[in-house]
Structure 1
Amino acid sequence: MKGKLTIILLFIFYFHTSYSQVIENANNPWIISFGLSAVEDSGTKLGQPFEFKQNYHFTNPFLFSVEKRFWENYGLQIAANFNTFKEGKLVNAMTLEEEIDFFALDLFFKYYVTNRFVDKYRSPYEGYLLLGAGRSSYDGEFSENVNFGIGLTLFITRDIRFFAQAMAKFDLVESEIGSNYFQYDFGLIIRIPKRPNGRSIFGF
């Protein structure tokens, strides 16, 4: 009887430990994101929020990012964003006389705040806050910025989700073209599952 009880207790302990490890790996994955973005750099301070044709830049937009979740409710993300500012649109309250190639590279800390209030294992969404810093390039002229934002992910499957986020970026140094601006992103995220050996495709 004692032997059977010992075996049962060992089985329960093993199952609990293995299940906890699976949950930890599932909730702290590597994440790849890709999608599109629009930049509002008109200098009107949202005074003309619906002037999409003149104030929003959405030509050849593309974004790509890599994120690592940790402690279940947090993430660290590096993101690259490409766009083109077309001639005739507003930048810093001035009409562009020629096209500008735009590129931004940012590092973010993410806090998945809704996990504090809803059941993270059943909820079909996650809401998060963004805080970070980055560098923006306007035809090779750089400006540094700090970033604040909010975002939302909606589940399609466990490992594929839709995301949308909005950020305000504040320029740290004065430049002729660099300025405060808003960036709106949307696209898909893919969570990279762990392999049987507990490692991701990145090797850890």
Structure 2
Amino acid sequence: MKHLNKLFSVVLLLVGLSSQAQDSNNPWAVTFGVNAVDTRVSAASKIGDKISQVFNAKDNWNVLPSVSYLNVSKNVGGNFSFGVTGSVNKIKKYVLERTTIPGDYAVVNPGDLSYYAADGIIKYSFKEALGSKVIDPSVHIGGGYTFFGDNSYGTANGGVGLTFWFTDMVGLSLQSTLKYSFDDKSIRTPESGVPTLFQHFAGLTFKFGGKDTDGDGIYDKDDACPEVAGLKQFKGCPDTDGDGIVDGSDSCPEIAGLAEFQGCPDTDGDGIADKDDACPEVAGPKSLNGCPDADGDGVADKSDKCPQVKGPAENAGCPWPDTDGDGVLDKDDKCIDVKGTVANNGCPEISQELILKLNAYAKTILFNSGKASFQKQTFPVLQSIAAILKEYPSARFSIEGHTDNSGKPASNMKLSVDRASAVKNYLIENGIAADRLMSAGYGQTKPIDTNKTKAGKANNRRVEVNLIK
């Protein structure tokens, strides 16, 4: 008995240590305490007598003044559990029916008779059905083997129990079990066999064995985030920023936000989450990624070089200028610094009078005889032509060369081409863009006067400047 008490003490210590972080989800339970053995049920011949004094502890119960039973059980699904119980006792009160007076019972001391039992038990709990966290009634059945003095025999067991849970992991368990002995006889002495009896138990129950990897008080089987500590209302998942949205569904898990923005804040209240808002502290429309547009021109103020004046995005939010004031915006004006007309893209239009003037100059261009080189006195004329062309920077011109009919037509054609080209090259060299000019020679094919007179021939030897429209 001394060694048995030591064993129970060790079990108590181990259970106490293992149950510190457990709760009602733990599948394992250990119960230990005292037991009482009552043999009256075997002695009585009438059913009423068998149970009339079942709780008469003073006269009928055999109790050891120490820890005398141990039960280990495991939940096997639903409200069912299976366990094994070992118990010891000393029989000093054995109930006998007096043979001379039927229905009269005597309690004898069989001389400190030893009692040992090992039993298997299947228990069903009604705690969940009651919806109670404290009161836990149950029923059980099972079987076992009992050593009664020098005798031993198998038993069929059944009974009821009641546990009061102080916490989710510690409770006081009470249980009464009828153990029907297959060795039972109607009349017996304590030494004649193993009687049918009642065995009562009272002990402390400790639950353990659940796994809580993240230590958040929610066991892994019920924890949606078993490796990260969380909250019960989120099934064990964390909500770092405390905004009511679990981190796994929170696009901004470290900053409190709103559910409509998946947990992200909207500081300026413009309906755009800060993470998607280019201007999170100033309200603005969605079309501009949350940035304001003071002048309403569709260009966000932060990119608008003229935030108080409407202007197109192509010009950074500023209105297009009209430098020369001709009504044609600079972006469309091919002559930004010179007033022109809308019809001519902002450039001044060339009048017929000016064309006549250009050709009047062109008629005075003198070449060395039979050559495409200029006579010295022609250079001022060429300068005057270049100056006029510069005043119309968007206009394009055709330089045309012509000859009289003196000489061979092929030679005349080549000469006219060379002379027109010489004028064109001079103008390019003096500041006229090459893409504004083209040249062509027509030889003697386009006379403007008769070639029968000297004056007529002189008129036919000419350079013309024509506007390309």
TM-score range with shorter-chain normalisation?
0.7 to 0.9
1:125 corresponds to: 135
1:135 corresponds to: 145
Q: Is the 8 A contact 1:133 1:145 kept in 2?
A: yes
Query: Structure 1 unaligned runs (5+)?
Result: 1-24, 200-204
- Secondary structure of the equivalent of 2:136? strand
1:165 corresponds to: 175
Q: Is the 8 A contact 1:28 1:71 kept in 2?
A: no
Shift of 1:28: 5.2
- Report whether the alignment pairs 1:96 with 2:96: no
Q: Is the 8 A contact 2:35 2:199 kept in 1?
A: yes
The correspondence for 1:54, drawn from 56, 59, 62, is 59
- Report whether the alignment pairs 1:188 with 2:188: no
One-letter code aligned to 1:189: T
- Report whether the alignment pairs 1:81 with 2:79: no
Per-residue CA shift, 1:4-55, capped at 9, x if unaligned? xxxxxxxxxxxxxxxxxxxxx9535110000111111132323444653432
Q: Is the 8 A contact 1:54 1:90 kept in 2?
A: no
Where do 1:7-18 residues align within 5 Å?
none
Q: Is the 8 A contact 2:36 2:199 kept in 1?
A: yes
* Equivalent-residue separation in structure 1 for 2:154 and 2:89 (angstroms): 17
Please report the RMSD computed on the Cα atoms of aligned residues, expressed in angstroms.
Answer: 2.4
- Report whether the alignment pairs 1:150 with 2:160: yes
1:105 corresponds to: 118
- Secondary structure of the equivalent of 1:78? strand
Count of equivalent residues: 170
Q: 1:126 to 1:57 in 2, by over 3 A?
A: same
Q: Is the 8 A contact 1:136 1:145 kept in 2?
A: yes
* Equivalent-residue separation in structure 1 for 2:157 and 2:55 (angstroms): 22
Deviates more, 1:171-180 or 1:146-155: 171-180
Q: Is the 8 A contact 1:60 1:84 kept in 2?
A: no
One-letter code aligned to 1:111: Y
- Secondary structure of the equivalent of 2:118? strand
- Secondary structure of the equivalent of 2:59? helix
Shift of 1:70: 2.1
* Equivalent-residue separation in structure 2 for 1:71 and 1:97 (angstroms): 44
**Higher RCO (C-alpha 8 Å, min separation 6):** 1
Q: 1:71 to 1:51 in 2, by over 3 A?
A: closer
Deviates more, 1:182-191 or 1:40-49: 40-49
Shift of 1:192: 0.8
Q: 1:47 to 1:158 in 2, by over 3 A?
A: closer
Q: 1:149 to 1:125 in 2, by over 3 A?
A: same
Shift of 1:160: 0.6
Per-residue CA shift, 1:40-93, capped at 9, x if unaligned? 11323234446534321113461101000121301001001111012xx22454
Q: 1:96 to 1:133 in 2, by over 3 A?
A: same
* Equivalent-residue separation in structure 2 for 1:127 and 1:36 (angstroms): 19
- Secondary structure of the equivalent of 1:46? helix
Deviates more, 1:45-54 or 1:98-107: 45-54
1:4 corresponds to: none
* Equivalent-residue separation in structure 2 for 1:73 and 1:51 (angstroms): 32
Q: 1:70 to 1:60 in 2, by over 3 A?
A: same
2:37 corresponds to: 39
TM-score (norm 2): 0.34
Per-residue CA shift, 1:169-193, capped at 9, x if unaligned? 1111347231111111111000014
Q: 1:134 to 1:150 in 2, by over 3 A?
A: same
* Equivalent-residue separation in structure 2 for 1:50 and 1:37 (angstroms): 13
- Secondary structure of the equivalent of 1:27? coil
* Equivalent-residue separation in structure 2 for 1:148 and 1:126 (angstroms): 17
Q: 1:177 to 1:111 in 2, by over 3 A?
A: same
Q: 1:72 to 1:102 in 2, by over 3 A?
A: same
- Report whether the alignment pairs 1:71 with 2:77: yes
TM-score (norm 1): 0.74
Query: Structure 2 unaligned runs (5+)?
Result: 1-22, 45-49, 98-105, 186-191, 214-218, 221-469
Shift of 1:144: 0.9
Give the number of the structure whose alpha-carbon radius of gyration is greater.
Answer: 2
* Equivalent-residue separation in structure 2 for 1:60 and 1:139 (angstroms): 19
Tell me which protein shows more helix as a share of its residues.
Answer: 2
Tell me which protein shows more strand as a share of its residues.
Answer: 1
Q: Is the 8 A contact 2:82 2:123 kept in 1?
A: yes
- Secondary structure of the equivalent of 1:54? helix
* Equivalent-residue separation in structure 2 for 1:56 and 1:174 (angstroms): 19
